[in-house]
Structure 1
Amino acid sequence: MARLLALVAAAFVALGLAAPAQAERVRDLGAFQSVRSNQLTGYGIVVGLDGTGDDGFAYLTQAMRGVSGRFGLQLPPGVNPALKNAAAVMITADLPAFAKPGQRIDITVSTIGKAKSLRGGALIMTPLYGADGEIYAMAQGNLAVGGLGVSGADGSSLTVNVPTVGRIPDGASVERAVASGFDADPILRFNLHQADFLTASRVRDAINRRYPSIASVEDGVTLALRLPEGADARASLMADIEMIPISPAEAAARVVVNSRTGTVVISSAVRLAPAAISHGSLVVRVEEDPMVVQPAPFSNGRTAVEPDSTISVEQPANHIAMFDPGASLAEVVDALNALGATPSDLVAILEALKQAGSLKAEMVVI
């Protein structure tokens, strides 16, 4: 694992430090504020299941009363049918920017009760709501479920993937468009994916070189663009701005540690102040080899177990790695790999270097 980490880091440094940063397009660094998707949710019923449904939950029965009521069928009061072939579900979808009525969007359907599988089910027509409580789409269709669940009479079961979540490609029809305002607002804002004042300044300068005095920086994320009104003229200008090449600022020096998996990622900007690292391990091994002792013939002794312990101590010779001022990522990883550091050891060493003031980077634990 340590060798793999060293190879990956060395390759990253060779690509990122040896050569100057490559230019990226403006569209790869951020997005226009008004051009975004919107989340939709809905509560519905999936029917046609093969006995893997919710089986008479109160909220499912209530939902079925509402569905049947829309079709003029009223269930008798006090009757709670066992709905093993139906399941209550939540539907989620993303409404793309500029989606128009009649267009189709994909939806994801997930159970909210004890249904075991949605395989073979069909979603009954369900409205999808936005954050403002308005209906923006209607969902319906047959589910495509990638998971599989099988159970036996003795209680054994086998589950492959997640059978309680399915998708319906083009399963919802857009009923209402979301006004973006990109064609009428006097100022259109562009937001970077990551806050960086240097990158924002470079984007502003590149835009102003092509279109003088239309861009200004509001903060480390947002640029304000003064564009002419009208969808046709503004769209052409936005398309041209998105294709302008930019050399973004170098990423901040950061070490990211995943405490659950032991993964360590070190950015190419990490440097070390002068430091010395000693890494070694003390191995104490205790081996038990009990022996059975038999008494002499015609004696009054008894058979007994005689313990036999062997204790050994091993301490490999410690190695010390020295780092000159400004040591790069490749040098750090190569030296730690030569010491035989595992990923867990690497985390401990980096934390010690941070405490000693030699690691000039931000430590992030996720």
Structure 2
Amino acid sequence: MRFKNIKEPSSIGSYNKEDVIFLLKDISGMIEEQGNEEREEVIQNGGHYSEMLPIEYFPTEEYMDIFYKTLEDSKEKVAKAVAVVAELIYKEKGERTAIVSLARAGTPIGILIKRYLEKKYNKVFQHYSISIIRGKGIDENALKYILNHHNPENIQFVDGWTGKGAINSVLSKAMDDFYDKYKIRISDKLAVLADPAYCVPLYGTREDFLIPSACLNSTVSGLVSRTVLREDLIGEYDFHGAKFYKEWRDKDLSKLFVDVITECFKHIEVKKEDIDILDFNVYNTGVKEVNEIKGKYGIDDINLVKPGIGETTRVLLRRVPWKILVDDINNPNLRHVLVLAKDKNVPVEVYKDMKYSCCGIIKSKIKEN
């Protein structure tokens, strides 16, 4: 089946075109960012997060120092995790793999997987980045564009990390819905760099460690905002939208991040034993731990509990946190979390009984009122 009325992608983002094709509509100048307090009020009273954009946190010098140090300290670890998950993808999909990253946290990881595979197998792999939104599903127009260029069995979805596994569930439902509509089956098997939720079979590691790209927003994701889906902005045949922060080019670290990790591929080797030790079973322990935290702290909505370093960082950057739980105050992965928490006057509490390094809890406006 060839889909009609599918638009060609516009140029958006600061990455090289050979690294990624963003299947996103540029809505720069069409939407104004809102403060976290204002957005939180709307979200917790029935509004949808995808209809607004947050004002992006601009990091302090201290915070940026942590980013650079983390990148230097963890680059080999990140590169090895990329190599492992890339090899698993290649074993599953082969040389016709089409990498489809979930914007925006998945985008730099998708680029790294593409670069690793191209270096290792001396072949060009296509990489697209598309929008998926909790409560609204995947961008079907973007998926149709990809299917006009690739067979469905070659599509491999990629994200940065798992929190409690919510996007994994959204992806599964979206692929079922897509099959019901078009009778085209696309695997919902998600590949991630880090899977602390134990909810996907394709991963580089299940350790909840700090992926440096999780520290920042658009300045490490191609200067692209989080994705937007709103009727007045996105037409029937449009891709989901995103803002392109061209004015921040002088502060953009997107290429720096992927280049630093790529450089490490020269001396990264994935051995048979690296794959043999992996457990491909899915346990969904993340959501079980989240429910325990939800019960202990009397939280009504599971969506207010955001486990893992990546999700906790997002809570601090663009939501209104109530408190941050950490497994160990001296955990070196948590330096940026502690800086952000101090900067925003968010209390930090040690909570030993979790496999995650930390967990962010969003303040419940409804409960307060």
Fold shared per TM-score above 0.5: no
Higher relative contact order (Cα pairs below 8 Å, separated by 6+ residues): 2
Provide the TM-score with structure 1 as the length reference: 0.22
Normalising by structure 2, report the TM-score. Answer: 0.22
Higher helix share: 2
